[in-house]
Amino acid sequence: MIRLYILGGAAIAFAAVLAALWWQIDRNASLRDENNSLMRSVAALELGRDQARIAADVARAEAARQAIAAAEYEQVKDAFRKGDFDAHLPDDFRVLLNRILQPASR
């Protein structure tokens, strides 16, 4: 009779170990899937960060270009205020003035 209880207890213990092992394997697979998903998310975020850095570099370059153009136009404006109408005009400003002042071709 004691052997039967021992055998039954061993079977229950074995079943419990198998259930715990099955649960661990399932949990491990779930964590691997979650890890893969998070790794893809990190890769996408890093790509976005790199693109944002490139965009910031482009914006800084454009701001520098705009600052140079603004300084040129400021010099022209100051020259016009002083009555110096022979001052050098920036090329793009001359093209714009030519377009405005030329009669429309029909």
How far, in Å, CA of 53 to CA of 50, rounded? Answer: 5
The predicted pLDDT at position 96 comes to: 85
What 8-state DSSP symbol labels residue 85? T
Contact 77, 84 (CB under 8 A): no
Measured at the CA of 86, the angle between CA 85 and CA 92, to 5 degrees, comes to 95
The predicted pLDDT at position 84 comes to: 83
pTM: 0.56
Per-residue pLDDT tens, the chain, 106 aa: give them.
889 889 999 999 999 999 999 999 999 999 999 999 999 999 999 999 999 999 999 999 999 999 998 998 898 888 888 888 787 888 888 888 888 888 766 5
The predicted pLDDT at position 106 comes to: 53
Domain spans in the chain, listed from the N-terminal domain onward = 2-94
- 90 CB-contact burial (10 Å; exposed 0-12 / middle 13-18 / buried 19+): middle
Taking Cα atoms as reference points, which of 96, 97, 40, 93 lies closest to residue 69?
A: 93
The predicted pLDDT at position 83 comes to: 85
Q: Which residue is it, tokens 């071709």? A: 105
Measured at the CA of 52, the angle between CA 49 and CA 57, to 5 degrees, comes to 130
